Amino acid sequence: MNAMLDATPTTGPIALLREDLRDFAGYRSARSEKLQGHIWLNANESPWANPADRDGALRRYPDPQPQQLREALAALYGCVPEQLLAGRGSDEGIDLLVRAFCRPGGDAIVVSTPTFGMYAVSARLHGTRVIDVPLREADGEWICDLSAIGDAAIAQSARIVFLCSPGNPTGALLPLKDIAALAGRLERRALVVVDEAYIEYAGAESAISLIGVQRNIVVLRTLSKAHALAAVRIGSVIGDAELIEALRRCQAPYPLPVACVAQALAALDGNAATTTRDRISAVQAEREGLQRRLASVRGVRRVYPSRANFVLVRFDDAQDAFERLLSVGVVVRDMRAAQGLGDALRISLGTPAQNAAVIGALEGVRA
Ligand SMILES: *Cc1c(COP(=O)(O)O)cnc(C)c1O
């Protein structure tokens, strides 16, 4: 049995776990038993490889948390492997956190719209209430009112606050000291989850550095954006080791396909990692240029400063801009359905040539 289950009640964030899951051991897969042997007949796997599986690597169920991957990700993010859970993208991390810390059909999370939609989707699927403390705008910048968020979380007993930094779709970065202060205020009350899907582009320190100080901070990282592996579906939840172990017990039995793990390890190694860093720099350089050029396009109302690999732009006529881009084959994200963004499009940074195509198409906007 897990030693943790016998331990005296902890003061760590694990105390926020759903009470009915405190002694939940999860599914005991064939892989979770530490047995020695050379004839493995305990998992109903085929004794033969599929003819299409040339090197016979796929016959058996995979390791739920391959140590090599966990170590590589921990080294990348600057934590210890025990503080990291790898899963099917950050999306699985969001879902696991909601399910493990909010009671089904009850409790609440706090978000600040406009923000990434998956926090509310996971909460809704779980019957958990979504409290919105919307971002405010002042002098062309987005303000996330962390003190109002703290008030709302306390007043309504929310279990999780989801922060996105840099924000999607705003591109705005939250100061670490403000995140730490909010987490301090919500200690023993709620988790503060910081989604850092775009932090590589921000050139800023990660909230992972706060985990040792504020144990109720949880950070989400992903290989989907800066590492160019969206199809591999690998994201990480990083936080207090006890909390990570509890999440692991709630996770699906074999979340990481062998081929995806191999691809991730190759992508984090040597030359590939160097190229990733160069491309992050290239995006940062292009971002400056795109923001500047967009700001001088006629019909552009506002270009928000971005620390991510996209730019949020308001137009006099967003429909016209969207169609103009589409007419030259450029597809951007239409944000007009989002509250307060009825005139906005979100444009991802592409290659220099693709960014030039965006400007070229927009320069004709209602001249
Ligand atoms: C793209 C994105 C993610 C990534 O999710 P994955 O499941 O890891 O692909 C997470 N959070 C935000 C805010 C995003 O924009």
For residues 257 and 60, the answer to whether their CB atoms sit within 8 Å is no
Lowest mean pLDDT among 8-22, 150-164, 181-195, 305-319: 8-22
Q: Is residue 261 part of a domain?
A: yes
Dihedral in degrees, nearest 10, Cα atoms 176, 84, 71, 224: -70
- Which of 174, 221, 225, 348 is the pocket-test mutation for ligand 1 (most atoms within 8 Å of CB)? 225
* 205, 301: one domain: no
Q: 268, 300, 331: which is the final residue of a domain?
A: 268
* 56, 145: one domain: yes
Q: Is residue 51 part of a domain?
A: yes
Domain span at residue 322 reads: 280-362
Q: Look at residue 316 and tell me whether its pLDDT is greater than 50.
A: yes
If you take atom 1 of ligand 1, which residue's CA is the nearest one?
197
Q: Look at residue 3 and tell me whether its pLDDT is greater than 70.
A: no
Please give the C-alpha separations between residue 86 and each of 69, 147, 251, 328, 333, in angstroms, as whole numbers: 8, 31, 10, 39, 28
Element (H, E) at 86: strand 84-87
* 32, 160: one domain: yes
* 179, 288: one domain: no
Residues 316-342: what's their mean pLDDT?
96
Q: Is residue 6 part of a domain?
A: no
* 225, 305: one domain: no
> Cβ < 6 Å from ligand 1: which residues?
89-91, 116, 164, 168, 195, 197, 222, 224-225, 230, 235
Q: 268, 299, 316: which is the final residue of a domain?
A: 268
State in Å: Cα 51 to ligand 1 middle.
Answer: 36
The number of distinct structural domains making up the chain is: 2
For residues 130 and 120, the answer to whether their CB atoms sit within 8 Å is yes
Q: Look at residue 1 and tell me whether its pLDDT is greater than 80.
A: no
User: What CATH number is associated with residue 356?
Assistant: 3.90.1150.10
Residue 367 pLDDT: 45
Q: Is residue 249 part of a domain?
A: yes
* pLDDT band at 30; cut points 50, 70, 90: confident
In terms of pLDDT, which residue wins out, 4 or 350? 350
| Helix, coil or strand: residue 238 | strand
Which atom of ligand 1 is found nearest the CA of 222?
8
In terms of pLDDT, which residue wins out, 29 or 258? 258
If you take atom 15 of ligand 1, which residue's CA is the nearest one?
168
Q: Look at residue 5 and tell me whether its pLDDT is greater than 90.
A: no
- Which of 221, 222, 238, 312 is the pocket-test mutation for ligand 1 (most atoms within 8 Å of CB)? 222
* 117, 156: one domain: yes
Residues 4-24: what's their mean pLDDT?
79
Structure tokens that stand for 90 in this block = 């950050």
Residue 124 pLDDT: 98
State in Å: Cα 59 to ligand 1 middle.
Answer: 31
Q: Quote the mean pLDDT of the chain.
A: 94
Residue 2 pLDDT: 47
State in Å: Cα 166 to ligand 1 middle.
Answer: 11
* 284, 264: one domain: no
* 83, 186: one domain: yes
State in Å: Cα 33 to ligand 1 middle.
Answer: 33
pTM summary value? 0.95
Residues 311-317: what's their mean pLDDT?
98
Structure tokens that stand for 225 in this block = 């954006």
If you take atom 5 of ligand 1, which residue's CA is the nearest one?
90
Residue 365 pLDDT: 55
Q: 242, 268, 294: which is the final residue of a domain?
A: 268
User: What CATH number is associated with residue 110?
Assistant: 3.40.640.10
* 295, 258: one domain: no
* 217, 260: one domain: yes
Which atom of ligand 1 is found nearest the CA of 88?
7
* Angle formed at CA 206 by CA 66 and CA 351, multiple of 5 degrees: 85
Q: Please name the residues in contact with 55: beta carbons below 8 A apart, sequence gap of 6 or more.
A: none
Q: Look at residue 209 and tell me whether its pLDDT is greater than 60.
A: yes
* 298, 193: one domain: no
Q: What's the pLDDT tens digit per position in 47-92?
A: 999 999 999 999 999 999 999 999 999 999 999 999 999 999 999 9
**258-267 helix and 67-77 helix, angle to the nearest 10 degrees:** 40
